[in-house]
Structure 1
Amino acid sequence: MGSPENNQSKGGFFAAMTSGLSMFSNAMHRSVNGLLGYEGVEVINPEGGKEDAEEEAQRGRWKQEERDSYWKMMQKYIGSDVTSMVTLPVLIFEPMTMLQKMAELMEYAHLLDEADKCEDPYMRMAYASSWAMSVYFAYQRTWKPFNPILGETYEMVSHDGITFISEQVSHHPPMSAGHAENEHFTYDVTSKLRTKFLGNSLDVYPIGRTRVTLKRDGVVLDLVPPPTKVNNLIFGRTWVDSAGEMIMTNLTTGDKVVLYFQPCGWFGANRYEVDGYVYNAAEEPKILMTGKWSESMSYQPCDSEGEPLPGTELKEIWRVAETPPNDKFQFTYFAHKLNSFDTAPKKLLPSDSRLRPDRWALEKGDLSKAGASKSSLEERQRAEKRNREAKGDQFAPKWFDVTEEIAPTPWGDLEIYHFNGKYMEHRNAVDSSDAVDTVDVQSIEFNPWQYANLSE
Structure 2
Amino acid sequence: MRSGDEKPTEGGGFFAAISSSVRSWGSAMQKSVNGLMGYEGLEVINPEGSTEDAEAEAQRGRWKQEDRDGYWKMMHKYIGADVTSLVTLPVIIFEPMTMLQRMAEILEYTHLLDLADECEDPYMRVAYVSSWAISVYFAYQRTWKPFNPILGETYEMVNHNGITFISEQISHHPPMSAGHAENEHFTYDITSKLKTKFLGNSVEVYPVGRTRVTLKKAGVVFDLVPPPTKVNNLIFGRTWVDSPGEMIMTNLTTGDKAVLYFQPCGWFGAGRYEVDGYVYNASEEPKLLMTGKWNESMSCQPCDLEGEPLPGTELKEIWKVAATPANDKYQYTHFAHKLNSFETAPKKLLASDSRLRPDRYALEKGDMSKSGAEKSRLEEQQRAEKRNREANGHKFTPRWFDLSGEITPTPWGDLEVYEYNGKYTEHRAVVDSSGCHEEVDINSIAFNPWQYGNVSAE
Fold agreement, TM-score > 0.5: yes
What is the Cα deviation at residue 134 of structure 1?
0.4
2:377 aligned with 1:376: yes
1:348/1:441 contact within 8 Å kept: no
Counterpart in 2 of 1:283? 284
Counterpart in 1 of 2:417? 416
Residue number among 32, 36, 60 corresponding to 1:28 in the alignment: 36
Counterpart in 1 of 2:19? none
User: 1:443/1:26 Cα in 2 relative to 1: closer, same or farther (>3 Å)?
Assistant: farther
User: 1:438/1:252 Cα in 2 relative to 1: closer, same or farther (>3 Å)?
Assistant: closer
2:118/2:218 contact within 8 Å kept: no
What is the Cα deviation at residue 76 of structure 1?
1.2
2:194/2:208 contact within 8 Å kept: yes
Give the distance between the partners of 1:217 and 1:436, measured in 2 at CA.
36
2:325 aligned with 1:319: no
Q: Deviations over 1:32-55 (max 9, x none)?
A: 2xx3xxxx61341x2356898776
What is the Cα deviation at residue 442 of structure 1?
4.5
2:257 aligned with 1:256: yes
Give the distance between the partners of 1:268 and 1:314, measured in 2 at CA.
24
Give the distance between the partners of 2:346 and 2:335, measured in 1 at CA.
17
Matched residue of 1:30: which SS? coil
Q: Deviations over 1:79-128 (max 9, x none)?
A: 11111001100111000000000000000000000000000000000000
Q: Deviations over 1:171-229 (max 9, x none)?
A: 00000000000000000000001101111111100000000000012200000000000
Q: Is there any run of 5+ residues in structure 1 with no aligned partner, and where?
A: 1-23
User: 1:75/1:55 Cα in 2 relative to 1: closer, same or farther (>3 Å)?
Assistant: closer
Residue identity in the other structure for 1:182: N
Alignment of 1:216-295 (within 5 A): 216-295=217-296
Give the distance between the partners of 2:435 and 2:384, measured in 1 at CA.
39
Q: Deviations over 1:265-315 (max 9, x none)?
A: 132110000000000000000000000001110000001110000100011
2:68/2:236 contact within 8 Å kept: no
Q: Deviations over 1:385-426 (max 9, x none)?
A: 111111111001110011211111000010110100000001
What is the Cα deviation at residue 29 of structure 1?
3.9
What is the Cα deviation at residue 435 of structure 1?
3.3
Counterpart in 2 of 1:13? none
User: 1:292/1:376 Cα in 2 relative to 1: closer, same or farther (>3 Å)?
Assistant: same
Residue number among 19, 26, 44 corresponding to 1:42 in the alignment: 44
User: 1:60/1:273 Cα in 2 relative to 1: closer, same or farther (>3 Å)?
Assistant: closer
User: 1:302/1:192 Cα in 2 relative to 1: closer, same or farther (>3 Å)?
Assistant: same
2:134 aligned with 1:126: no
Matched residue of 2:446: which SS? coil
Give the distance between the partners of 2:80 and 2:52, measured in 1 at CA.
31
Counterpart in 1 of 2:198? 197
User: 1:343/1:177 Cα in 2 relative to 1: closer, same or farther (>3 Å)?
Assistant: same
1:43/1:235 contact within 8 Å kept: no
Give the distance between the partners of 1:26 and 1:194, measured in 2 at CA.
28
1:347/1:441 contact within 8 Å kept: no
What is the Cα deviation at residue 239 of structure 1?
0.3
Residue identity in the other structure for 1:240: V
Alignment of 1:63-212 (within 5 A): 63-212=64-213
Give the distance between the partners of 2:319 and 2:113, measured in 1 at CA.
12
1:222/1:248 contact within 8 Å kept: yes
What is the Cα deviation at residue 72 of structure 1?
1.8
Matched residue of 1:204: which SS? strand
Matched residue of 2:431: which SS? helix
Matched residue of 2:117: which SS? helix
Give the distance between the partners of 1:291 and 1:251, measured in 2 at CA.
25
1:53/1:237 contact within 8 Å kept: no
Q: Deviations over 1:337-388 (max 9, x none)?
A: 1111111111111100000000000000000100000000000000111111
Provide TM-score, normalisation by structure 1: 0.90
Residue identity in the other structure for 2:254: T
Matched residue of 2:452: which SS? coil
Counterpart in 2 of 1:61? 62
Give the distance between the partners of 1:154 and 1:73, measured in 2 at CA.
31
User: 1:439/1:234 Cα in 2 relative to 1: closer, same or farther (>3 Å)?
Assistant: closer
Give the distance between the partners of 1:365 and 1:303, measured in 2 at CA.
55
Counterpart in 2 of 1:16? none
1:177/1:191 contact within 8 Å kept: yes
